Amino acid sequence: MQAGTVTAVGTNSVSIKTTGAAKTYAVDANSDIDKNGEAKLSDLKVGDAVHFAVRPGSSTIAVLHAGDEAKNRPAFGAGGPCPGGGRHHGPGDGDGPPPGAGQPSSAPTSGA
């Protein structure tokens, strides 16, 4: 993500100054705008410090975060942060053995 400062807010665009001159980026219905939580483009103000990313091959904002970054993180369901420090602990989530590992074998065993 890039860092910058908002220099102008339009109805479907935002201008952001990074290390060089300010550049204007398009904002559409698929742009994710967060400012201390979910927000609208109109919630942004000139002077807001932002972190943002554009869609590849375009100048359209994919994601733009301003304000308290902790409030911009998605909640886990309706109840708040994800339990387990952000790890879901489900099959295929990459934080444990693959599904079925460590399970008892269903192969027949020989008797004595």
- CA proximity to 16, closest of 29, 27, 3: 3
Q: Which helix (H) or strand (E) holds 65?
A: strand 61-66
Q: What is the dihedral of CA 42, 58, 16, 34, to 10 degrees?
A: 40
| pLDDT, tens only, 1-14 | 899 999 999 999 99
What is the predicted pLDDT for the residue at 12?
Answer: 95
Q: In what order do the strands lie in the sheet with 13-17?
A: 22-26, 13-17, 2-9, 49-54, 61-66, 32-35
pLDDT in tens, 38-89: 889 999 999 999 999 999 999 999 999 998 666 555 554 444 444 444 444 4
Which domains are present in the chain?
A: 2-72 (2.40.50.320)
pLDDT at 94 over 50: no
